[in-house]
């Protein structure tokens, strides 16, 4: 009786299994996963950035580097293409320690790394010898801060700068000092670098041309921290003003020690010491100093740049990062126009470029200098540098007037059918003389 029961159950089981099999066969097979589309082809373009990233002026070097990095990251995000390939820009950063010998070493490293262009160097003393190496390698370089005229007087076709020269900056600060402080006797000190000595020479020329007595030159160096012997000597000569050609790392202690010695002269500086760090280094002695920058001040740069810089770095730009940002973008724009990152192919585009950047309209003369570069005069007030005047084309205007003129939109063109309506606008260019 047991065996037939087992057979019935087995048949039932077989029937159930067969039903399951038919059901599964009737279902469609699951779709195979679709492969992701291949990533678009890309190409890497390396851009060199050189500045002192260690030492007494590392804060300025880092600011310069920040400007370059921001420009390259924005350009990469824009995903423009060359020969159908998306371009990824990569920054190759080197620390030249503000030392000419190190500067030439890192210049050769960038050449060997096959970068497509270089933004740098910060100092004239490193930029000038390094430029010869780039020139031999047919590698364009653009400095956002080197101001010594010699940089672009060498005849190198691939060397540019986006700031003014010392033979523009020196007369600007000297003439402002002469017109406002009205000194009868001025002492001049420099740090014996290509930048400091060169700028001091230009200031001296301008002061002598204005019939102001200039005392024999005093010297230091770019590492000097004890200026008391020099200052004691000057105190005995009772100058009305003192100009120092050098950087803030040495200019700050100089000013602090001068006030400790009760030297009451007006102190003036060039762009290397025209930073808020002078307050940190000189303390209360910094208030009242005059200084110049070879370009517009950072706060006058475009809002787009200022907002992007603050968002990325959580600080405001210090000095020349708007100019290194523009320098990097000039290389990028020339590459776009040439459709090639080959320096030989894009250099002609760079030479003839007309570009609207964070620091205004940029084009170069035949030497590689920026046309119509501005010089800004500052004063330290309550521990903060405040721009007080802008010099352009030999004309000085108050800073607030410069900003107002720059913000004023150009008048709309008159209808073609009414040419007489345009006649009153003939004097308009005079009002625009100080525009960027």
List, for residues 362-396, the tens digit of each pLDDT value. Answer: 999 999 999 999 999 999 998 889 999 999 888 89
Of 34-38, 126-130, 148-152, the one with minimum mean pLDDT is: 34-38
Does some domain include residue 10? no
Cα gap 335→127, rounded to integer Å: 23
Is 31 a domain residue?
no
158 and 125 fall within a common domain: yes
Say how many domains are in the chain. Answer: 2
Q: Are residues 325 and 288 part of one domain?
A: no
Could you give the C-alpha distances from 29 to 20, 32, 195, 201, 394, in angstroms and in order? Answer: 16, 9, 77, 86, 82
* End residue of a domain, out of 353, 371, 389: 371
Q: Are the C-beta atoms of 367 and 153 separated by less than 8 Å?
A: yes
pLDDT digits (tens, 9 = 90+) for 187-208: 999 999 999 999 999 999 999 9
Per-residue pLDDT tens over the stretch 39-77: 668 899 999 999 999 999 999 999 999 999 999 999 999
32 pLDDT band, cuts 50/70/90, is low
* R_g (Cα) of the chain, nearest Å: 31
pLDDT on residue 393? 82
Which residue from 116, 101, 96 is spatially nearest to 47, judged by alpha carbons? 116
Q: Which helix (H) or strand (E) holds 72?
A: helix 58-78
> Does residue 113 lie in a domain region?
yes
Whole-model pTM?
Answer: 0.79
Same domain for 198 and 133: no
Are residue 246 and residue 383 in the same domain, yes or no?
yes
In 137-227, alpha helices (H):
166-180, 194-209
105 assigned to some structural domain: yes
The count of C-alpha atoms lying within 13 angstroms of the C-alpha of 332, restricted to the half-sphere facing its C-beta, is: 28
CATH number at residue 51: 3.40.50.2300
Structure tokens at 166: 């010392």
* Domain residue limits at 192: 167-293+376-397
Q: Could you tell me if 214 and 333 lie in one domain?
A: no
Angle among Cα 322, 323, 324 to the nearest 5 degrees reads: 95
- Please tell me whether residues 58 and 142 are part of one structural domain: yes
- Let me know whether 187 and 282 are in one domain: yes
380 and 262 assigned to the same domain: yes
Q: Does residue 6 carry a pLDDT above 70?
A: no
**Residue 132: which of 157, 98, 162 has the closest Cα?**
157
Is residue 350 assigned to a domain?
yes
Are residues 235 and 384 part of one domain?
yes
Same domain, 342 and 380: no
73 and 200 part of one domain: no
User: Averaged over 80-105, what is the pLDDT?
Assistant: 96
Model pLDDT, residue 26: 45
CB 320, CB 331: distance < 8 Å: no
pLDDT averaged over the chain? 87
Domain identity same for 211 and 268: yes
19 within a domain of the structure (yes/no): no
Residue 275 resides in a domain: yes
pLDDT digits (tens, 9 = 90+) for 233-252: 999 999 999 999 999 999 99
In a domain, 2, yes or no: no
């Amino acid at each position: 009786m047991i065996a037939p029961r087992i057979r019935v159950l087995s048949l039932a089981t077989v029937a159930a299994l067969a039903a399951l099999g038919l059901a599964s066969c009737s279902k469609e097979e699951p779709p195979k996963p679709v492969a992701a589309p291949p990533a678009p082809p890309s190409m890497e373009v390396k851009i060199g950035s050189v500045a002192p990233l260690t030492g007494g002026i590392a804060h300025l070097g880092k600011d310069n580097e920040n400007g370059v990095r921001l420009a390259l990251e924005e350009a990469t995000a824009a995903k423009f293409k060359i020969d159908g390939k998306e371009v990824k820009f990569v920054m190759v950063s080197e620390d030249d320690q503000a030392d000419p010998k190190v500067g030439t070493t890192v210049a050769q490293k960038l050449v060997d790394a096959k970068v497509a262009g270089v933004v740098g160097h910060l100092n004239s003393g490193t930029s000038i010898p390094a430029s010869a190496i780039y020139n031999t390698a047919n590698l364009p370089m653009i400095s956002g801060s080197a101001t010594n005229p010699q940089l672009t007087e060498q005849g190198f076709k691939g060397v540019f700068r986006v700031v003014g020269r010392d033979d523009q900056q020196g007369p600007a600060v000297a003439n402002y000092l002469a017109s406002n402080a009205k000194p009868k006797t001025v002492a001049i000190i420099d740090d014996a670098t290509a930048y400091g000595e060169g700028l001091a020479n230009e200031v001296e020329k301008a002061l002598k041309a204005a019939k102001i007595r200039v005392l024999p030159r005093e010297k230091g160096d770019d590492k000097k921290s004890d200026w008391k012997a020099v200052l004691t000597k000057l105190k005995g000569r009772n100058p009305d003003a003192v100009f120092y050609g050098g950087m803030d790392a040495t200019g700050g202690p100089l000013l602090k020690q001068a006030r400790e010695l009760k030297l009451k002269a007006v102190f003036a500086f060039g762009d290397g010491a025209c930073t808020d760090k002078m307050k940190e280094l000189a303390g209360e002695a910094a208030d009242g100093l005059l200084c110049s920058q070879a370009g517009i001040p950072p706060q006058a740069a475009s809002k787009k740049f200022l907002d992007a810089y603050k968002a990325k770095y959580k600080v405001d730009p210090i000095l020349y990062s708007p100019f290194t940002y523009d320098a990097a973008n000039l290389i990028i724009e020339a590459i776009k126009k040439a459709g090639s990152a080959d320096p030989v192919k894009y250099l002609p585009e760079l030479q003839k470029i007309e570009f609207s950047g964070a620091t205004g309209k940029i084009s170069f003369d035949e030497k590689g200098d920026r046309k119509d570069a501005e010089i800004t005069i500052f004063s330290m007030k309550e521990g903060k540098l405040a721009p007080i005047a802008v010099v352009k084309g030999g004309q000085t205007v108050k800073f607030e007037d410069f900003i107002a003129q720059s913000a004023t939109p150009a008048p709309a063109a008159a209808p073609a059918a009414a040419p007489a309506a345009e006649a009153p606008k003939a004097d308009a260019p005079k009002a625009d003389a100080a525009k960027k």
